[in-house]
Amino acid sequence: MKSSSATPIIVAVVGVIACIIAAIVITVSLIQPTQDKIASAESRIAAAAPDATPEKHAAAQKLFDDNTLTAQQIAAAWKVKERNLMPPFDVSKRDTAWKQLSQELSANLGPSIERWMSHSGVLHQASIRIQAPPASPNQITGSPLVIPIAGGNLQVQGDFRSILAHVLKWNDFNRLVLIDKLQLSGNSPGMNGSYTANVIIFPQNGDKLGGTIAKNGSATGSPGMGGGGAGGPGGGRPAGA
């Protein structure tokens, strides 16, 4: 049987169509995505080009320098506050820290708060109470102390503005005091206010806690060990919390 003269033409047409389809597939699956990525990269480069100018670099450097200076000023201001608001409480030697804390809690803090309250512009409705110091130097830890004032809850009486001014005036007290949960009741000028008040004491050398004190008065253990809650290493809440 003789083949048709049209068969070579059909084969050629089919081959051409197959090549076209293959070219389309290659373009869609390989070339076009690559070109899209190149175009996207060129777009990002063009968008970033203005930031690469000397002017932009100088502005970014100035912003960095300004922020660094601000951070240094904040740190310096905190050191001043720490010196002014923190009593001596160096826990690198537990016996010394215990004596310092006993002096602060037994003789200094309560009278200071009573004097301050008498000039704070409101009527204080309860006596000032401060917790006793730890019974032993070995209860001293490297954690911050939270010392409740009057059991942690203060009650005052006055007009609305006087109570608000009284709360803000705690910023002028000579210790760091955390005020929270202010509640007002009644009508001015005989309005009642209640809030929580805690003195916060950060120890000096909290990362170098002194060794425990033996019964004969000598220090034992390695300085820097411990730092848990009251009662020994591994405790949770700060003493006085």
CATH number, domain containing residue 167:
3.30.70.60
Q: How many domains does the chain have?
A: 3
Q: Which amino acid is at 110?
A: G
**Domain for residue 241, yes or no?**
no
> Does residue 2 fall inside a structural domain?
no
Residues 102 and 192 in one domain: yes
CA dihedral (10, 12, 13, 17) positive or negative: positive
- Name the pLDDT band for 231 (thresholds 50, 70, 90): very low
Two tokens, residue 145: 């102390």
Write down the pTM of the prediction.
0.60
Locus of tokens 């008065």? 217
- Asked if 237 contacts 198 with a C-beta cutoff of 8 angstroms, the reply is no
Residue 156 within a domain: yes
Q: Do residues 204 and 116 share a domain?
A: yes
Model pLDDT, residue 23? 62
| Residue 99 covered by a domain | yes
pLDDT digits (tens, 9 = 90+) for 177-224: 999 999 999 998 889 999 999 999 999 998 999 998 887 555 655 444
Check residue 179 and report its DSSP letter.
E
66 and 34 within one domain: no
Domain match, 101 and 207 both? yes
Q: Are 190 and 160 in contact (CB under 8 A)?
A: no
178 and 67 co-located in one domain: no
- Whether residues 196 and 177 share a domain: the answer is yes
Domain that residue 93 falls in: 89-220
Q: Is residue 142 within 8 Å of residue 207, measured between CB atoms? A: yes
Tell me the HSE value of 164 on the side-chain side, using a 13 A CA sphere: 5
When the pLDDT of each residue in the chain is averaged and rounded to a whole number, the result is: 79
Name the strand (E) or helix (H) holding 180.
Answer: strand 177-185
For residue 226, is it within any domain?
A: no
Q: Say what the pLDDT of residue 8 is.
A: 65
pLDDT surpassing 50 at residue 104:
yes
